[in-house]
Every structure is written in C-alpha cells, then in structure tokens.
A and B are shown apart, each in its own frame.
Chain A
C-alpha cells in the first residue's frame, strides 16, 4: 500500500498497512474517520461560511479544498487505483459529500462535473482516465461538458457540432453553449456529430478536447446573478486526435446515456447534501434575526417543514439509486424520479429562503451602511440571491422537468406515446 502523496496522513485515520484497503471496504469506518478529520482539521476552517465575489474566485478556492481532501486521501476513495483513487465505490463519494455538508463545508464546485464526466471516462476511455483524472482529483484541473448547442437544447440528438475524421485526427467545427464552468475549465468532454447531419443519435461520438487547442474560443456567459457560471465555446477546425474518443466512434449516445445515470443520481445526492447544509444555515439566519427583534413571518414553520420534508424525500430516493450504481446496476428511466425530486426540493428551498428573508432578500440599498442592517443587506442574503438564480436551473439543466415527466410517462408508466405533430 502506498501512502497518499503530498501531505501527511490525517490523524484520525488508523495507521498501519492495509488502512486504505480497509477504508475502501468498510464504509462506516471511512465515514467515521472522515467525519473526525473534517471536524478537527484546522486547514479546512477557512472554507466554512465563505462567500466569493465571482465563480472564478470560488472555483480557484475550491480547487484548494480539493487538493486538501485529495492529499489527505479522502476524495480518492470511490475511484479506482488506475485513476489515482484508493478504491471503494460510489457510496464513498456520496459519503464524502454528505460529511462535508454536515461539517458545514462546501462540496468543491468541481465535483458536479467530476461526478458527471468521471464515470463514463473510467468506463469507456480507461487510458484517458488514467492520464487525466488524477490531476482532476488533485484539484489541478477541471473539465466542462459540451453537449448543448444553440439549436440543440432539450432535443440533444439534433446537435450539429461536427467532427470530420482525417486519419488519426478529427477536425472539429461548431459551437457549444451553456457549458458549466466553461470559463475556467481546461478540457471539454463534447458530444459531436461524426455521422450524417440526419443521423440523429446514431451519428454521435464523445470526445475530449483541450481548451488550449488552436481554434477553440471561449466566451464566458453571466447568469442573471452576474456570475460567469456558463460559457459558450466555438470550435474552428480544431484538430483532436482520435485517441481522445470516449467510447468508439458512433457510440456517443450510449456513452451519454451511461453518463446521465450519474448526472441524475450522484448529482442529486450531492445537491441534496448541500441543500441540507443551506437549510440549516437558513434556520440559523432566521433565528439570529428573531433574536434581533425581527420575528419570522407567518407561516414560516410550515414552509421550513415542507422544505425539509422535500429534502429528506430526495435523500431517501437518491440513497437507493446511489447504492444501485455502487453494485453496478444500470439505473434506467426511473432516475427521472430522482431528477424531479431534486428540482422540487431545490426550488422549494430557495423560494422559502426568498420568502422568509423577505425584504432582506430583495433589497440591498447602495451606500447604506452602519447600523441599518435592513438597508445595507447582508452577505447571507446576497448569497441566497445568487443561489436563487442558480436554483431555477434545477428544472432546466440535464433534461428539463418536462423532459423527465415525458420519460416517466413513456418508459415507466407505459402510457401511449405522445402524438407527433
């Protein structure tokens, strides 16, 4: 057994040979040792309750957090040794997110796409995974997911970004849109068309493209909250080796379907863990206000209770799905239930925060200062405003609320198909 590289092993971890193997095997031991580390490690303190002026600043600081978690070994569980992991399965990753949130720490923003892009690369492109995932786990780089295009949103199979094959390389030309973390990501995992324009999902391939390749242009896109959460990416005859394929040429749709299981299940669990932390913070903020003589509005109890109940329902559902992924089950169209519950819980939580914080959420008068807390606004309220905009994407990204309901109607309830126009 080699020791994790970099920093010394965390104090809480039982020392001695075989430790990593035992934590990889014993989820409860992993959980308890991790919990202890997160509560006691002084280097983590600066990440608690931290607010950032921009997505770029947040990603940079979260990369530091990733590095700390990696060097202490914790974020390496759940990944195979071939990609720099220490073994274990999806449940270890889920426990990491849960324990981070329970300890009042953020889940590094990079993990949203690590959960989405990591598993398909490990499965369909082991060599690429071995070459590049270790650096992702160390927080040295992160990637974007290039699926959506201006004319291909919900109807993903209509995408047009083209990869023309020429011997051992492709020339990629086209555009991707709404790439999360696109402003700072250094590699993009893109779904591109290698078949005829009419081939729909049969003519697609998945490929990894370095952002610093000649011909790639990235333009950040600010969300309504002002943060450059997204980007659009232009490809102009970008040369990409065929060795960068994830899965075979023409297999892109199958890889994307595999990927979607993780996007729907692991991302849902990760988001639920974070949301529970945010609900705890909201409760604390309301209590502090009440102590300062500003009672909570009428109906606050029922609203908080409802937000919490939605979150527990999401956790209950999502835990089962994570366990299924961990034993290698294929999670089919039922994962749309998880996605609908995630969206419901996210929207509810952020609406409750908006409504219960009320004026404080809505107003932050410029220039107001000093004792006038209402007029000056609070950093907490500013964070809720930022997050509220992001929460609206819960019913849009990764298959909209409508798309999920259609999947359930078609494949789970077995209703007669929707009439084609």
Chain B
C-alpha cells in the first residue's frame, strides 16, 4: 500500500474514509492490535499525523475503540510528548505509567497506584511522573523494579490486558528532565486524554449501533421494539451524548494549538466522553433487555471497556469534582470555545 495523497489543511473526506476502512479491517482481524504498527507504517501514518494530527489521532482512536482493540498505541502518544525531555532510550523501549484518580503525579514516597497498558516483557523503563515541590519530575524506573508491584488488572474489563501497579517501587527518585517536567507531563496528559476521549467515543458509537440494530430487529407486541417511544428516546439521548462528546473533543484539539495550554479543554473533553459512556451504556443496556446482559452478546464488552477507559487519565466523576473545586476557589470560567 502506498501512502495516500493529502491536502496540508487536514484530512479530506475521501482520505479519511480510506484510512478508516484500512484501520477498521485491520483491527477487526487483529483486535489485540498486533501488527497495528506495521499497518500504520504502510499507511504512511507519520505523514498523516504531520498533516492533521487532530483528525488522524481521532480517527485512529475512534476505530481502536470501536474494535475494542487492546494495543498500546496510546503509550506511543504519551511517549512522543515525553521523549524530548527524556534522555535517548538506551536500554530498550519505555512504557508510561498512568496514575489512577485524577491522573495526578505520584508523591515520591508514596506507593504507586496506577495502570500500565500491557506487560513489561521487553520494556526497559517505566516513565513515572513524580510530584516534586509543585513541579513534576519524570522518573525513569527500571521495568524490573516496577514488575514486582504489578498484577493483571482484570476486574470489570477482563479483556483489557492492562496491569495494575499497586505497591511501593524503589528508585522513584531517578529523574530526568525535571526542569520543564510539569509542562511536558501536562501536555502528555492532555494529548493522551484527547486520544482516550476519541477511543471512548468509538466504543460508544459501536454500542449504540448494536442497540439500534437489536431494537430494530427484535419484535414484541407484534412490533419492532424500536417503534416504542420510550426506546426511541433513549437511543436519541445516547446519540446526543456521543455528539456532544465529539464536539468538545474537536474544540479541545483546537484549544491545544494555543501554545499556552489547552489542558483545561482536554480535561473537559475527557470528562464529557466519560459522561457520555455512562449515558450511552445505561440506555444501550436497557433497550437490549436480558440479551444485553448475557456473556454471549457483545454489548457487555463495550460497557466494560468504556468504563475502564473512563478511568484512564482521570474518570469523569473525579475530573468533575476537581474542576468544580477549582471553580469554587476562584478559577476563571474558561469559555473554551469561541466562534
């Protein structure tokens, strides 16, 4: 496959469609994401990103979500942001550490509580953000030191392949590039949040499609259940939730172009995507009846994945509380969006 021609002002509709098609097929065949790197290389992804990073990232992660894929492509997004302020990787690949809660950097003396997107085999170092006197230091912790504190995350989304890091880890104090660590980490979190928001949107769109299909086929009282207003209105609400998450995501990408931040907008985009998944899954589960609760039906995998993604880089409840607390103590009410 040859890299596609593109305009420099962003992906045109035809290119986007072709890329979507290739990614969708690839991820459907390899939901564990193996080979995603090769596919992206074949598609000339670096060039696509250079042309239209918001469009390309959104497209990739929406498809990743739609396929419930489990690749570590999100790691690449964060590492690309962190790399310039880290020493060149010597010993091997790195993996970022994702703190739980509001994704705040960890205290140097506290045990780690967070996630890794996959196993540590072949990983040399874990990049851990550490809070240092109001600044953030990026610590490069040898993977074998972290490994002792990891267990498969399992739980609500057993298919995630994530690892939970839970426990004390030595050598958290080996810092690199702490000078602009705060800015770099904020930016990595912001871009990561936009990617995860897109992934959640993808999972939600797939769940809504399942619900539409189910309710249009299933007959009760002699009618398709999608002809009952109560069912129709739930599906409409799910649609509104997804569309509103898409709008905030697009606005947040725009805000990120400003050199002075966009992290507030990125947090909102993640928050709204998290809120959307709660809405969409509540409605989708209801209209699919008992079938949607069964192991054989695909819906539950979307419900679990969306909930897990919500927790990545800050769950919507935690972020809403954080945001509101800032407003109460006088933070500016940023309009985020201008005409």
Contact = CB atoms under 8 A, between A and B. Distances in A.
B217 to A, nearest CB: 10
A337 B243 contact: yes
B339 interface: yes
Nearest to A356: B328
B322 A305 contact: yes
Contacts of A415: 212, 215-216, 226-227, 232, 235
Contact of B324 (A276, A308, A416): A308
B250 interface: yes
A208 B324 CA distance: 47
Interface string B239-251: 1100111011011
Contact of B323 (A27, A91, A98, A305): A305
A302 B327 contact: no
Given A300-B324, A416-B227, A319 B233 contact: no
Nearest to A420: B227
Contacts of B25: none
B229 A418 contact: yes
Given A301-B327, A415-B216, A416-B216, A317 B243 contact: yes
A287 interface: yes
A304 interface: yes
Q: Is the interface of A mostly helix, strand, loop or mixed?
A: helix
B333 A301 contact: no
A320 interface: yes
Interface in B101-130: none
Contact of B333 (A308, A323, A408, A418): A308
Nearest to B252: A316
Contacts of B216: 415-416
Residue of B239, B244, B335 with most partner-chain A CB within 10 A: B244
Interface residues of B, number: 44
B27 to A, nearest CB: 25
Contacts of B92: none
A283 B328 contact: yes
Contacts of A98: 335, 338-339
B249 to A, nearest CB: 8
Interface string A296-314: 1000111111101100111
A279 interface: yes
B223 A419 contact: yes
A392 interface: no
B237 A405 contact: yes
A301 B226 contact: no
Contacts of B333: 276, 279-280, 283, 308
B72 interface: no
Interface in B151-171: none
A415 B275 CA distance: 24
B233 A409 contact: yes
Interface in A177-215: none
B183 interface: no
A15 interface: no
Given A316-B248, A409-B236, A413-B235, A301 B337 contact: no
Interface in B280-339: 317, 319-325, 327-328, 330, 333, 335-339
A409 B235 CA distance: 7
B240 to A, nearest CB: 5
Contact of A341 (B235, B244, B337): B244
Residue of A334, A341, A413 with most partner-chain B CB within 10 A: A413
A316 B324 contact: no
B247 A320 contact: yes
A302 B317 contact: yes
B240 A337 contact: yes
A320 B244 CA distance: 11
A401 B268 CA distance: 25
A24 to B, nearest CB: 15
A102 interface: yes
A309 B320 contact: yes
A317 B327 contact: no
Given A287-B330, A315-B335, A341-B244, A305 B235 contact: no
24 contacts: A98-B335, A300-B328, A302-B317, A303-B324, A305-B325, A306-B320, A306-B324, A309-B323, A312-B337, A313-B272, A315-B335, A316-B337, A317-B244, A317-B247, A323-B339, A340-B236, A402-B233, A405-B236, A406-B236, A408-B236, A412-B236, A413-B239, A415-B212, A415-B227
Interface of A: 27, 31, 91, 94-95, 98, 102, 269, 276, 279-280, 283, 286-287, 296, 300-306, 308-309, 312-317, 319-320, 322-323, 334, 337, 340-341, 402, 404-406, 408-409, 412-413, 415-419
3 smallest CB-CB distances across A and B, nearest first, come from A305-B324, A301-B324, A409-B232
